[in-house]
Amino acid sequence: MTTRLSNAQIAWRAAQDIADGAYVNLGIGFPEMVARFQPEGRQAVFHTENGILGFGEAPQPGEEDWDLINAGKKAVTIKPGTAFFHHADSFAMVRGGHLDVAILGAYQVAQNGDLANWSTGPKGVPAVGGAMDLVHGAKRVAVLTDHTTKDGKPKLVQQCTLPLTGVGCVTRIYTSLAVVDVEDGRFVLREKLAAVSLDELQSLTGAPLHIDGSVADLTVPEV
């Protein structure tokens, strides 16, 4: 299949659902792109685990201050009202339920909302890290991911086979083909690319896709 959204387009779609003034943590890597696509008239307050709240856009190349970085070691800028704090206080914010949204990547998402977004092995990491706190501390957990792995295996599955980051924590999934909610232990299809049939989408999904009302076309700009 060649009709798929790019990572930037997936990030754009996710950004449209962030409310003005929401406190948001963006996972390392692909989810960081969401900050680029805030809708006009809305401004999220971004949080990073290493201890910054309300930071600004990425600096221009050559203008980086490498004392100012996010959890993914990317340079950030400060703006009026930016706050700095110890990472222990940062995690107190996370664990205390003060974040409105956490947006992360995924290896697998199960139909009951279980999330696996880390792995061990030769290309793995030594531990799950702060993601396990984020997925159970934030009020809403969204996932950005390609709909399948590079070799075509479903990433939306009946049950995760990789180490879990969190149990029953995911509420919405933005993929390269669809927008899917997790409700009552099942995947509920909300939007899909018009060029992809329901049968084709189901064949690329490892658990049943349920329909609750109409399914909107997933439309995004060229970004």
Distance in angstroms (rounded) separating the CA atoms of residues 126 and 222: 37
DSSP code of residue 203 = H
- Taking a C-beta distance cutoff of 8 angstroms, is the pair 118, 124 a contact? yes
E strand segments, the chain: 23-26, 45-48, 52-53, 83-84, 101-105, 108-110, 115-116, 140-145, 156-157, 172-175, 178-183, 186-192, 209-217
| Active-site residue list | 49
Query: Do strands 115-116 and 172-175 pair parallel, antiparallel, or not at all (unpaired)?
Result: unpaired
